[in-house]
Chains A and B, each alone.
Chain A
Amino acid sequence: MTTFENFRVEAEPPEYSVGRRMIGLARRSGTATIGLAVVVVFGVVALIAPLIIPYDPVAIFTDRLLQPPSATHWFGTDGNGMDVFSRVLYAARYAFGVAVPAVTISVLIGVPLGLLTGYRGGMFDEVTVRFMDSLRVFPLIVLALAVVAATGQSLLNVILIIGILDSPVFVRLVRAEVLQLRSSTFVEAAVATGNPVRRILFVHLLLNSTKGAMAQVAVRAAWAVRIMATLAFFGVGIEAPTPEWGSMIRQGAEYMATGQWWVGVFPGVALILLVLGFNMMGDGLQDLFDPRRRAEKR
């Protein structure tokens, strides 16, 4: 059944395989395609960065401090005499190296917890939801900064904390879908025919309720990249002179008012591009998984 605002058309157009949908989506949604392309390009750069960068990202050229972009240093050099171009490319590794595991952690915590709270209900659900709601009074950026600062400076900490702090997004999504599904006929039928609870949870609900969560993955990756850079900008978790965008922007910050813009602007633009890429891709993914949004578009 497809709903068009207040109408219902009591039929469904044909369903496609995921691959077919992807192709269709690419043809239809320019935003999503561009987003995906940007993310893929950055991903490839991250993979082969050591092979393509002209200089070691932490090599110091003491005789070439703060040089503007030139043929030898495309993006110029920073205050330490390091090659900004090499560092910007190399930093893609940190972006993916943090975002991918962090989002994986969010999903691994959020999806099961969402399933359990949604299916079980009762005290456990109440406490989890209350706890998550209470955390909403803190700005996430500040929370992430404070927690990482308190637990110690390490990349692993950064990944863990981004993953944990963002998991409520998935808990809420999955829980809401489970609550809706739980009252649906097919789960009732499964219970009535005597399927054990665990089986119901994992076979029936997992597949059905994680669609919405999947649609969010790219948007959450965008958030993870952003927050990691923010942490690095404040020198929390990732310290200079690590070739990481946030950390490089921090180095560039002091030169902004004196005109050596290339130190901070190039890493900033790279950061925005990747985050925007993920966000655009996320927009498309939401179309892909959400039939209501699908119908709205033409």
Chain B
Amino acid sequence: MTLLEVQNLHTHFITRDIGNQVQVAKALNSVSFKVDAGEILGLVGETGAGKSLTALSIMGLLRPPAEIVDGSIRFEGEDIVAMQRDELNRIRGAAIAMVGQNPRGALDPLTRIGEQIARVARAHDPQLSNDKATSMAVESMERVGIADPLRRAQAWPHELSGGMAQRVLIAMALINGPRLLIADEPTTGLDVTVQAQILDLLRALVQELNMGAMIITHDLGVVAQYCNRTAVMYAGRIVEEGGTRSVFGDPRHPYTKALIGSTPEKLDFTLDAEVGGGPPNLYALPPGCHYIDRCPKAAAQCNSMPPNLALSATHHALCHFAAGDQARAS
């Protein structure tokens, strides 16, 4: 069942610069993807590719100067983009939950963590008594593997380690039984051992609760190990998407190839090993393929918009040459 369907999403930063000219940074340009119940989608790409912005667009957390200028985001068939704040508040924190990067910064420093979690429960059920909300919070903490949750509920955020804070945030995200979980770089800044614990926990919870999940990361290892499907983002577009095995085993977009080639354990692969240069200027994107300036295979036709070539029923790549090198030779 499709939980989330993002179609043709365009999110731009529209500012008036000091010369009084309107400047548009095209951060997301026609992003489309789906998340089904019970699966984990990995969204990868370098910094500035628009991964987090995609998550924030879905959660309705954009603030000026960022705004959605085109496209739709459907959650269980309902278009989120058109929703008012109140309607959105029924969904976020309940049916859709998000876990952010920087877990320690994501907790209100002046509220004990048990109360913070309970607060989210009460926000979605005004009839809920304080006691009931608190016991729900403790239960949720227990489920994410926090030992002695009753005592921990009394802790202040600054008393927690990064890993513990992330567990608290996951407990907070799960308290209303969400059907979709978005994890934005859930393990950056955590110790390597803790990273694995958190990701294992997330995977177990997704399976147990039959949620859909989206993990945003720049760590290909995480995607390879934990995600069923992979979407690769570059300069505000998804350039390749497919089953994780398929994308990693047979990458078709030159950028995906370069990304995989640049991870140390894959250095022996006979792929283009360089991810040279930087991302394009979002204020002046190339008209065709966004990767044109860095692509070793760039040709004249790359100045026109590349097609989203279907390589199989589930594997797509946004490249003129995705079908194979033969196409280029002809």
Contact = CB atoms under 8 A, between A and B. Distances in A.
Given A7-B52, A11-B283, A298 B16 contact: yes
B19 A20 contact: yes
B279 interface: yes
B53 interface: yes
Given A7-B53, A10-B47, A10-B282, A2 B25 contact: yes
A7 B47 CA distance: 10
A10 B16 CA distance: 17
Range of interface residues on A (Cβ < 8 Å): 20 to 34
A4 B14 CA distance: 11
Interface string A1-33: 010111111111110100011011101100000
Contacts of B264: none
Given A4-B66, A7-B66, A295-B65, A13 B16 contact: no
A295 B281 contact: no
Nearest to A28: B20
Interface in B15-72: 15-21, 23, 25, 27, 47-48, 52-53, 63-66
B276 interface: no
Contacts of B27: 7, 9
B278 interface: yes
B75 interface: no
Contacts of B64: 298
Most buried by A among B21, B278, B279: B21
B31 to A, nearest CB: 15
Contacts of A12: 283
A294 interface: yes
Nearest to A297: B16
Contacts, number: 70
A88 interface: no
A294 B278 contact: no
B52 A23 contact: no
Contact of B18 (A5, A10, A25): A25
Most buried by A among B14, B19, B23, B53: B19
Range of interface residues on B (Cβ < 8 Å): 20 to 34
Contacts of B279: 10
Given A9-B48, A10-B47, A10-B279, A28 B16 contact: yes
A23 B47 contact: no
A28 B21 CA distance: 10
Contact of A9 (B13, B16, B17, B20): B13
A62 B106 CA distance: 74
The main secondary structure of chain A at its interface with chain B is mixed
Nearest to A16: B19
Interface string B127-142: 0000000000000000
Given A5-B63, A9-B282, A10-B278, A294 B18 contact: yes
Contacts of B20: 23-25, 27-28
Interface string A229-272: 00000000000000000000000000000000000000000000
A294 B17 contact: yes
Nearest to B49: A10
Contacts of A107: none
A294 B18 CA distance: 7
A297 B13 CA distance: 12
Contacts of A219: none
Given A10-B48, A13-B283, A298 B65 contact: yes
Given A10-B47, A10-B48, A298-B65, A24 B19 contact: yes
29 contacts: A2-B25, A4-B65, A4-B66, A6-B52, A7-B13, A8-B48, A9-B13, A9-B48, A10-B47, A10-B48, A10-B278, A10-B282, A11-B25, A11-B282, A12-B283, A13-B15, A16-B17, A16-B18, A20-B19, A24-B18, A24-B19, A24-B20, A25-B20, A294-B15, A294-B18, A295-B15, A295-B65, A298-B15, A298-B16
Interface of B: 13-21, 23, 25, 27, 47-48, 52-53, 63-66, 278-283
Interface of A: 2, 4-14, 16, 20-21, 23-25, 27-28, 287-288, 294-295, 297-298
Given A27-B20, A295-B15, 19 more contacts: A2-B25, A8-B47, A10-B47, A10-B48, A10-B282, A11-B25, A11-B283, A12-B283, A13-B15, A13-B17, A13-B25, A14-B283, A16-B17, A24-B19, A25-B18, A25-B20, A295-B65, A298-B14, A298-B64
